[in-house]
Amino acid sequence: MRGVLSPGCANLKAEDIAMTTRREFLQIGAGGLAGLAFVGCPLMAARPARAQARRREVVVAGRRVKTVDVHAHCTVPEALALMNLKLGAPGTALPPLLHMATQAPDRLRAMDEQGIDVEALSINPYWYGADRDLARQLIRLQNEKLAEACAAHPDRFVAFASVALQHPDLAAEQLEEGVKKHGLRGAAIGGSVNGEEISDPKFHPFWAKAEQLGVLVFIHPQGAGVATDLPKRLKGNGYLDNVIANPLETTIALSHLIFEGTLDKFPGLKICAAHAGGYLPSYAGRSDRGCPTRPVACPGGTYGPIKRKPSDYLKDMYYDTMVFSGEGVRHLAAEVGAGQLMVGTDFPYPWTTTAVDDILEAPGVSDADKMAMLGGNAMKLLGIRA
Protein backbone atom coordinates (compact mmCIF):
# COMPACT_ATOMS: atom_id res chain seq x y z
CA MET A 1 0.00 0.00 0.00
CA ARG A 2 1.39 3.38 -0.93
CA GLY A 3 0.39 6.94 -0.48
CA VAL A 4 0.23 9.38 -3.35
CA LEU A 5 3.24 8.70 -5.47
CA SER A 6 5.41 11.18 -7.14
CA PRO A 7 5.73 10.40 -10.82
CA GLY A 8 9.38 9.64 -10.40
CA CYS A 9 12.38 11.67 -11.18
CA ALA A 10 12.69 13.48 -14.44
CA ASN A 11 15.66 14.56 -16.42
CA LEU A 12 16.23 18.20 -15.77
CA LYS A 13 16.15 20.86 -18.41
CA ALA A 14 18.20 23.99 -17.92
CA GLU A 15 15.10 26.15 -17.57
CA ASP A 16 13.75 23.89 -14.86
CA ILE A 17 16.87 24.40 -12.83
CA ALA A 18 16.66 28.14 -13.28
CA MET A 19 13.06 28.09 -12.12
CA THR A 20 13.68 26.41 -8.84
CA THR A 21 14.54 29.38 -6.76
CA ARG A 22 14.65 29.49 -3.05
CA ARG A 23 11.54 31.63 -3.13
CA GLU A 24 9.60 28.86 -4.79
CA PHE A 25 10.61 26.46 -2.12
CA LEU A 26 9.56 28.82 0.58
CA GLN A 27 6.20 28.94 -1.14
CA ILE A 28 6.05 25.20 -1.27
CA GLY A 29 6.83 25.22 2.39
CA ALA A 30 4.12 27.72 3.09
CA GLY A 31 1.75 25.75 0.91
CA GLY A 32 2.64 22.88 3.15
CA LEU A 33 0.15 20.12 2.92
CA ALA A 34 -1.44 21.35 -0.27
CA GLY A 35 1.70 19.88 -1.72
CA LEU A 36 0.81 20.44 -5.34
CA ALA A 37 3.95 22.37 -6.07
CA PHE A 38 6.01 21.19 -8.97
CA VAL A 39 9.66 20.80 -8.39
CA GLY A 40 12.47 19.65 -10.59
CA CYS A 41 14.55 16.57 -10.04
CA PRO A 42 17.93 16.26 -8.41
CA LEU A 43 20.79 17.00 -10.73
CA MET A 44 22.44 13.80 -9.66
CA ALA A 45 19.62 11.64 -10.88
CA ALA A 46 20.10 10.45 -14.42
CA ARG A 47 16.83 8.86 -15.41
CA PRO A 48 14.67 8.91 -18.51
CA ALA A 49 13.12 12.23 -19.38
CA ARG A 50 9.69 13.02 -18.03
CA ALA A 51 7.87 15.99 -16.68
CA GLN A 52 8.76 17.67 -13.43
CA ALA A 53 8.32 15.70 -10.23
CA ARG A 54 5.39 16.43 -7.98
CA ARG A 55 5.86 16.49 -4.25
CA ARG A 56 4.91 13.09 -2.94
CA GLU A 57 2.30 13.26 -0.24
CA VAL A 58 2.20 10.26 1.99
CA VAL A 59 -1.26 9.08 2.90
CA VAL A 60 -2.21 6.29 5.28
CA ALA A 61 -5.81 5.21 5.69
CA GLY A 62 -6.93 8.24 3.74
CA ARG A 63 -5.05 10.63 5.97
CA ARG A 64 -2.13 12.80 4.94
CA VAL A 65 0.81 11.96 7.15
CA LYS A 66 3.60 14.38 7.86
CA THR A 67 6.80 12.40 7.43
CA VAL A 68 10.01 13.05 9.30
CA ASP A 69 13.46 11.72 8.40
CA VAL A 70 15.67 11.60 11.49
CA HIS A 71 18.76 10.45 9.63
CA ALA A 72 19.80 13.18 7.21
CA HIS A 73 23.35 14.40 6.94
CA CYS A 74 24.61 17.87 6.19
CA THR A 75 27.69 19.87 6.88
CA VAL A 76 29.02 23.40 7.25
CA PRO A 77 32.08 24.01 5.05
CA GLU A 78 33.28 26.94 7.17
CA ALA A 79 33.43 24.62 10.16
CA LEU A 80 35.05 21.83 8.15
CA ALA A 81 37.78 24.29 7.19
CA LEU A 82 38.71 24.70 10.85
CA MET A 83 39.72 21.02 10.81
CA ASN A 84 41.35 21.36 7.36
CA LEU A 85 38.59 19.40 5.70
CA LYS A 86 36.99 20.35 2.43
CA LEU A 87 33.64 19.57 0.92
CA GLY A 88 33.89 17.49 -2.22
CA ALA A 89 37.54 16.68 -1.67
CA PRO A 90 38.51 13.45 -3.39
CA GLY A 91 38.78 10.48 -1.08
CA THR A 92 36.39 11.92 1.49
CA ALA A 93 32.78 11.03 2.05
CA LEU A 94 31.85 14.70 1.84
CA PRO A 95 29.75 15.21 -1.28
CA PRO A 96 28.73 18.80 -2.13
CA LEU A 97 25.10 17.85 -1.50
CA LEU A 98 25.87 18.06 2.21
CA HIS A 99 26.03 21.85 1.95
CA MET A 100 22.75 23.37 3.13
CA ALA A 101 23.47 26.95 2.17
CA THR A 102 23.91 26.14 -1.52
CA GLN A 103 22.34 22.74 -2.08
CA ALA A 104 19.03 22.99 -0.25
CA PRO A 105 17.05 23.04 -3.54
CA ASP A 106 18.48 19.69 -4.60
CA ARG A 107 17.87 18.28 -1.17
CA LEU A 108 14.27 19.49 -1.16
CA ARG A 109 13.69 17.93 -4.55
CA ALA A 110 14.92 14.58 -3.28
CA MET A 111 12.75 14.93 -0.18
CA ASP A 112 9.74 15.79 -2.31
CA GLU A 113 10.31 12.82 -4.52
CA GLN A 114 10.75 10.40 -1.63
CA GLY A 115 7.84 11.79 0.34
CA ILE A 116 9.90 13.28 3.16
CA ASP A 117 8.27 16.38 4.62
CA VAL A 118 10.80 17.22 7.28
CA GLU A 119 14.43 16.30 7.71
CA ALA A 120 16.09 16.37 11.11
CA LEU A 121 19.59 17.37 10.08
CA SER A 122 22.74 16.18 11.78
CA ILE A 123 26.46 16.51 11.21
CA ASN A 124 28.70 13.50 11.74
CA PRO A 125 31.44 14.37 14.19
CA TYR A 126 34.89 15.04 12.74
CA TRP A 127 35.98 17.40 15.53
CA TYR A 128 36.54 14.99 18.41
CA GLY A 129 40.28 15.64 18.09
CA ALA A 130 39.89 19.40 18.51
CA ASP A 131 41.14 21.21 21.61
CA ARG A 132 38.74 23.17 23.74
CA ASP A 133 39.12 26.55 22.07
CA LEU A 134 38.89 25.20 18.56
CA ALA A 135 35.98 22.95 19.50
CA ARG A 136 34.14 25.91 20.97
CA GLN A 137 34.63 28.01 17.86
CA LEU A 138 33.77 25.17 15.50
CA ILE A 139 30.57 24.13 17.28
CA ARG A 140 29.37 27.72 17.68
CA LEU A 141 29.78 28.31 13.98
CA GLN A 142 28.18 25.01 13.10
CA ASN A 143 25.16 25.33 15.35
CA GLU A 144 24.54 28.87 14.14
CA LYS A 145 24.61 27.67 10.55
CA LEU A 146 22.32 24.78 11.37
CA ALA A 147 19.88 27.23 12.91
CA GLU A 148 20.07 29.35 9.76
CA ALA A 149 19.44 26.36 7.52
CA CYS A 150 16.34 25.48 9.54
CA ALA A 151 15.11 29.07 9.63
CA ALA A 152 15.34 29.25 5.84
CA HIS A 153 12.85 26.39 5.51
CA PRO A 154 11.24 26.05 8.91
CA ASP A 155 8.60 23.59 7.76
CA ARG A 156 11.16 21.34 6.05
CA PHE A 157 14.13 21.24 8.40
CA VAL A 158 14.90 20.88 12.06
CA ALA A 159 18.37 20.01 13.32
CA PHE A 160 20.33 18.26 16.02
CA ALA A 161 22.98 20.39 17.67
CA SER A 162 26.55 19.28 17.25
CA VAL A 163 28.54 19.09 20.48
CA ALA A 164 32.21 18.68 21.37
CA LEU A 165 31.75 15.49 23.35
CA GLN A 166 35.51 15.20 23.97
CA HIS A 167 34.97 18.07 26.42
CA PRO A 168 31.87 16.80 28.21
CA ASP A 169 31.10 19.91 30.26
CA LEU A 170 31.47 22.06 27.15
CA ALA A 171 29.26 19.63 25.23
CA ALA A 172 26.58 20.05 27.90
CA GLU A 173 26.78 23.84 27.52
CA GLN A 174 26.66 23.59 23.74
CA LEU A 175 23.61 21.37 23.87
CA GLU A 176 21.81 23.76 26.18
CA GLU A 177 22.70 26.74 24.03
CA GLY A 178 21.80 24.84 20.88
CA VAL A 179 18.36 24.03 22.22
CA LYS A 180 17.54 27.23 24.06
CA LYS A 181 19.22 29.85 21.90
CA HIS A 182 19.21 28.25 18.45
CA GLY A 183 16.03 26.20 18.60
CA LEU A 184 17.84 22.97 17.79
CA ARG A 185 16.02 19.80 18.78
CA GLY A 186 18.63 17.59 20.39
CA ALA A 187 22.21 16.49 19.86
CA ALA A 188 23.99 14.26 17.39
CA ILE A 189 26.98 12.30 18.62
CA GLY A 190 29.29 9.54 17.38
CA GLY A 191 29.37 5.97 18.65
CA SER A 192 32.60 6.53 20.56
CA VAL A 193 34.89 9.44 21.32
CA ASN A 194 38.59 9.06 20.53
CA GLY A 195 38.47 5.41 21.50
CA GLU A 196 36.42 5.94 24.65
CA GLU A 197 32.98 4.41 25.00
CA ILE A 198 30.12 6.84 25.43
CA SER A 199 29.21 4.95 28.62
CA ASP A 200 32.42 6.22 30.22
CA PRO A 201 31.55 8.20 33.38
CA LYS A 202 33.57 11.04 31.87
CA PHE A 203 30.57 11.76 29.65
CA HIS A 204 28.02 11.89 32.44
CA PRO A 205 27.78 15.70 32.44
CA PHE A 206 26.57 15.52 28.86
CA TRP A 207 24.08 12.73 29.53
CA ALA A 208 22.79 14.58 32.60
CA LYS A 209 22.14 17.68 30.50
CA ALA A 210 20.44 15.74 27.72
CA GLU A 211 18.21 14.03 30.27
CA GLN A 212 17.40 17.29 31.98
CA LEU A 213 16.50 19.02 28.72
CA GLY A 214 14.48 16.00 27.62
CA VAL A 215 15.83 16.20 24.09
CA LEU A 216 16.68 13.41 21.67
CA VAL A 217 20.30 12.31 21.27
CA PHE A 218 21.00 10.82 17.84
CA ILE A 219 23.91 8.38 17.80
CA HIS A 220 25.60 7.82 14.46
CA PRO A 221 28.53 5.43 14.24
CA GLN A 222 31.81 6.23 12.62
CA GLY A 223 32.97 2.80 11.62
CA ALA A 224 36.29 4.03 10.33
CA GLY A 225 36.94 5.67 13.67
CA VAL A 226 36.75 2.43 15.58
CA ALA A 227 40.07 2.31 17.36
CA THR A 228 40.86 -1.35 16.95
CA ASP A 229 42.75 -3.86 14.87
CA LEU A 230 39.47 -4.87 13.32
CA PRO A 231 39.71 -2.78 10.12
CA LYS A 232 42.26 -5.19 8.71
CA ARG A 233 39.54 -7.85 8.76
CA LEU A 234 37.16 -5.59 6.87
CA LYS A 235 39.25 -4.97 3.78
CA GLY A 236 38.51 -6.21 0.28
CA ASN A 237 35.35 -6.23 -1.78
CA GLY A 238 32.04 -5.01 -0.40
CA TYR A 239 32.94 -1.95 1.71
CA LEU A 240 32.71 -4.01 4.87
CA ASP A 241 34.44 -1.23 6.79
CA ASN A 242 31.10 0.52 6.51
CA VAL A 243 28.61 -2.31 5.93
CA ILE A 244 29.81 -4.16 9.02
CA ALA A 245 31.81 -1.58 10.99
CA ASN A 246 28.99 0.97 11.24
CA PRO A 247 26.29 -1.29 12.66
CA LEU A 248 29.00 -2.87 14.81
CA GLU A 249 30.03 0.42 16.40
CA THR A 250 26.41 1.17 17.23
CA THR A 251 25.98 -2.32 18.67
CA ILE A 252 29.00 -1.83 20.91
CA ALA A 253 27.95 1.68 21.96
CA LEU A 254 24.40 0.66 22.91
CA SER A 255 25.61 -2.51 24.63
CA HIS A 256 27.90 -0.48 26.88
CA LEU A 257 25.17 2.07 27.63
CA ILE A 258 23.06 -0.87 28.78
CA PHE A 259 25.60 -3.06 30.55
CA GLU A 260 27.65 -0.30 32.19
CA GLY A 261 24.51 1.13 33.77
CA THR A 262 24.42 4.48 31.95
CA LEU A 263 20.74 3.97 31.13
CA ASP A 264 20.01 3.11 34.75
CA LYS A 265 21.71 6.29 35.95
CA PHE A 266 19.90 8.45 33.39
CA PRO A 267 16.56 6.71 32.94
CA GLY A 268 15.01 9.72 31.25
CA LEU A 269 17.45 9.72 28.34
CA LYS A 270 15.97 9.69 24.87
CA ILE A 271 18.42 8.02 22.54
CA CYS A 272 17.96 7.33 18.85
CA ALA A 273 20.45 5.00 17.20
CA ALA A 274 21.16 5.16 13.48
CA HIS A 275 20.87 2.22 11.08
CA ALA A 276 18.15 0.61 13.16
CA GLY A 277 20.48 0.31 16.13
CA GLY A 278 23.00 -1.66 14.13
CA TYR A 279 22.89 -5.32 14.94
CA LEU A 280 21.55 -5.09 18.45
CA PRO A 281 17.75 -5.10 18.21
CA SER A 282 17.73 -8.05 15.82
CA TYR A 283 19.94 -10.10 18.05
CA ALA A 284 18.84 -8.95 21.48
CA GLY A 285 18.27 -12.47 22.75
CA ARG A 286 21.98 -13.14 22.88
CA SER A 287 22.53 -10.10 25.12
CA ASP A 288 19.96 -11.48 27.53
CA ARG A 289 21.53 -14.91 27.64
CA GLY A 290 25.22 -13.97 27.91
CA CYS A 291 25.27 -13.26 31.63
CA PRO A 292 23.22 -16.30 32.72
CA THR A 293 25.50 -18.45 30.57
CA ARG A 294 28.72 -17.07 32.01
CA PRO A 295 27.97 -15.03 35.15
CA VAL A 296 31.66 -14.49 35.84
CA ALA A 297 31.84 -12.18 32.80
CA CYS A 298 29.13 -9.98 34.26
CA PRO A 299 30.57 -8.33 37.35
CA GLY A 300 28.13 -5.44 37.04
CA GLY A 301 28.50 -2.03 35.52
CA THR A 302 29.72 1.22 37.01
CA TYR A 303 26.90 1.17 39.56
CA GLY A 304 26.65 -2.54 40.19
CA PRO A 305 24.21 -4.95 38.58
CA ILE A 306 21.99 -3.48 35.92
CA LYS A 307 18.36 -3.10 36.91
CA ARG A 308 16.57 -4.76 34.03
CA LYS A 309 16.89 -7.43 31.39
CA PRO A 310 19.23 -6.09 28.67
CA SER A 311 16.61 -6.33 25.94
CA ASP A 312 14.18 -4.25 28.04
CA TYR A 313 16.44 -1.21 27.62
CA LEU A 314 16.23 -1.66 23.87
CA LYS A 315 12.51 -1.04 24.08
CA ASP A 316 13.17 2.38 25.63
CA MET A 317 15.51 3.57 22.90
CA TYR A 318 14.63 4.87 19.46
CA TYR A 319 15.89 3.77 16.07
CA ASP A 320 15.69 4.81 12.48
CA THR A 321 14.17 2.38 10.01
CA MET A 322 17.20 1.91 7.78
CA VAL A 323 16.66 -1.81 7.28
CA PHE A 324 15.86 -1.62 3.56
CA SER A 325 12.75 -3.78 3.45
CA GLY A 326 9.22 -4.08 4.75
CA GLU A 327 10.13 -7.31 6.51
CA GLY A 328 13.04 -5.55 8.18
CA VAL A 329 10.68 -2.85 9.48
CA ARG A 330 8.14 -5.43 10.66
CA HIS A 331 10.86 -7.32 12.51
CA LEU A 332 12.31 -4.20 14.10
CA ALA A 333 8.87 -3.08 15.25
CA ALA A 334 8.26 -6.53 16.72
CA GLU A 335 11.54 -6.36 18.64
CA VAL A 336 11.40 -2.81 20.03
CA GLY A 337 7.88 -1.53 19.39
CA ALA A 338 6.59 0.69 16.60
CA GLY A 339 6.58 3.63 18.98
CA GLN A 340 10.38 3.56 18.98
CA LEU A 341 10.90 3.84 15.23
CA MET A 342 11.34 6.79 12.90
CA VAL A 343 12.10 7.13 9.21
CA GLY A 344 15.76 7.34 8.28
CA THR A 345 17.16 7.88 4.78
CA ASP A 346 20.89 8.64 5.29
CA PHE A 347 20.56 11.45 2.74
CA PRO A 348 22.57 12.36 0.71
CA TYR A 349 24.21 8.94 0.70
CA PRO A 350 22.03 6.87 -1.58
CA TRP A 351 21.56 3.86 0.68
CA THR A 352 17.85 4.02 0.10
CA THR A 353 15.23 6.07 -1.64
CA THR A 354 12.35 3.93 -0.42
CA ALA A 355 12.38 4.57 3.32
CA VAL A 356 8.70 5.59 3.24
CA ASP A 357 7.71 2.57 1.16
CA ASP A 358 9.55 0.16 3.46
CA ILE A 359 7.24 1.33 6.24
CA LEU A 360 4.09 1.40 4.13
CA GLU A 361 4.82 -2.13 2.93
CA ALA A 362 5.75 -3.61 6.29
CA PRO A 363 3.54 -6.69 6.62
CA GLY A 364 1.17 -6.98 9.55
CA VAL A 365 1.85 -3.48 10.86
CA SER A 366 -1.23 -1.40 11.73
CA ASP A 367 -1.98 1.93 10.08
CA ALA A 368 -1.57 3.66 13.42
CA ASP A 369 1.87 2.15 13.82
CA LYS A 370 2.83 3.15 10.29
CA MET A 371 1.76 6.73 10.93
CA ALA A 372 3.76 6.76 14.15
CA MET A 373 6.87 5.50 12.38
CA LEU A 374 6.44 7.80 9.38
CA GLY A 375 6.28 10.91 11.46
CA GLY A 376 4.22 10.86 14.62
CA ASN A 377 6.97 9.58 16.88
CA ALA A 378 9.54 12.01 15.53
CA MET A 379 7.17 14.97 15.70
CA LYS A 380 6.69 14.40 19.40
CA LEU A 381 10.36 13.80 20.14
CA LEU A 382 11.61 16.71 18.06
CA GLY A 383 8.86 19.20 18.79
CA ILE A 384 7.61 19.38 15.20
CA ARG A 385 4.14 20.85 14.81
CA ALA A 386 1.47 19.11 12.75
Partner 1 sequence: MADAAFVSCGGGGVAGAPFARRREVVVSGKRVKTVDVHAHCAVPAAMALMGRKLETETLLMTNTRERLAAMDAQGIDVEALSINPYWYAADRDVAQELIRIQNETLAEICGAQPDRFVAFASVALQHPDLAAEQLEQGVKRYGLRGAGLGGSVEGLELSDPKFHPFWAKAEALGVLVFIHPQGSPELERSGRLGGNGLLTNTIGNPLETTIALSHLIFEGTLDRFPGLKICAAHGGGYLPSYAARSNAVQMTFPQRMTGTLKKRPTEYVRQLYYDTIVFTPEALRHLAVEAGPGQIVMGTDYPFPWTSTSVDHILGTPDLSDADKIAMLGGTAMGLLGIKA
Q: How far is CA 168 from the centre of its chain?
A: 21
b/e per residue, 304-332, with b = 16+ CB within 10 A?
A: eebeeebbebbebbbbbbbbeebebbbbb
Residue 231 Cβ vs partner 1, minimum distance, rounded to whole Å: 8
| Integer Cα distance of 185 and 159 in angstroms | 6
CB atoms within 10 A of CB 67: 28
- Which of 26, 183, 242, 312 is close enough to bind partner 1 by CB under 8 A? 242
- Min separation Cβ 259 and partner 1, Å: 3
The candidate with the shortest Cα–Cα distance to 374, out of 115, 35, 122, is 115
If one asks whether residue 230 binds partner 1 (CB under 8 A), the answer comes out as yes
Task: Tell me, residue by residue from 346 to 365, as one string, x for binding to partner 1 by CB under 8 A and - for no binding.
Answer: ---xxxx-------------
Number of residues that bind partner 1 (CB under 8 A): 65
CB of 201 to partner 1, least distance (A): 12
Least distance to partner 1, CB of residue 330, Å: 8
CB of 374 to partner 1, least distance (A): 19
Nearer to partner 1 (CB atom), residue 174 or residue 311: 311
The conformation of residue 3, written as its DSSP 8-state character, comes to -
DSSP secondary structure of 190-255? -SEETTEETTSGGGHHHHHHHHHHT-EEEE---GGG--SSGGGGG-STT-HHHHTHHHHHHHHHHH
Which range touches partner 1 (CB under 8 A), out of 47-55, 106-114, 173-181, 327-335? 327-335
The interface mask with partner 1, positions 247-286, x = CB under 8 A, is: xx--xx--xx-xxxx-------------xx--x--xxxxx
Q: Convert residues 140-159 into a mask of x (bound to partner 1 by CB under 8 A) and - (unbound).
A: --------------------
**Distance (Å, whole) CA 100 – CA 142:** 11
86 touching partner 1, by CB under 8 A: no
Select from 16, 177, 197, 316 the one that contacts partner 1 (CB under 8 A). 197
User: What DSSP string runs through 266-306?
Assistant: STT-EEEESGGGTTTGGGHHHHHHHHHH-GGG---BTTBS-
Determine, following the binding rule CB under 8 A, whether residue 90 of this chain makes contact with partner 1. no
Does 182 sit near partner 1 (CB under 8 A)? Answer: no
Nearer to partner 1, 197 or 361 (CB): 197
What contacts 221, CB < 8 A, 6 or more positions away? 190, 191, 245, 246, 247, 248, 249, 250, 253, 274, 275, 278
- The type of residue at 274 is A
84 Cβ neighbours under 8 A, 6+ residues apart: none
Residues 289-308 that bind partner 1 (CB under 8 A): 289-294, 297-301, 306
Rule CB under 8 A: say whether 240 interacts with partner 1: yes
Q: How far is the CB of 311 from partner 1 (least distance, A)?
A: 9
Nearer to partner 1, 26 or 298 (CB): 298
Residue type at position 173: E
* 29 makes contact with partner 1 (CB under 8 A): no
Question: Would you count residue 325 as binding partner 1 (CB under 8 A)?
Answer: yes
Contact flag: residue 335 with partner 1 (CB under 8 A): yes
The Cα-based distances of 275 to 72, 249, 250, 280, 311 in angstroms read 12, 11, 8, 10, 18
Nearer to partner 1, 23 or 232 (CB): 232
Q: Contact positions toward partner 1, by CB under 8 A? A: 192, 195, 197, 199, 226-230, 232-234, 236-240, 242-244, 247-248, 251-252, 255-256, 258-261, 275-276, 279, 282-294, 297-301, 306, 310, 323-325, 327-328, 331, 334-335, 349-352
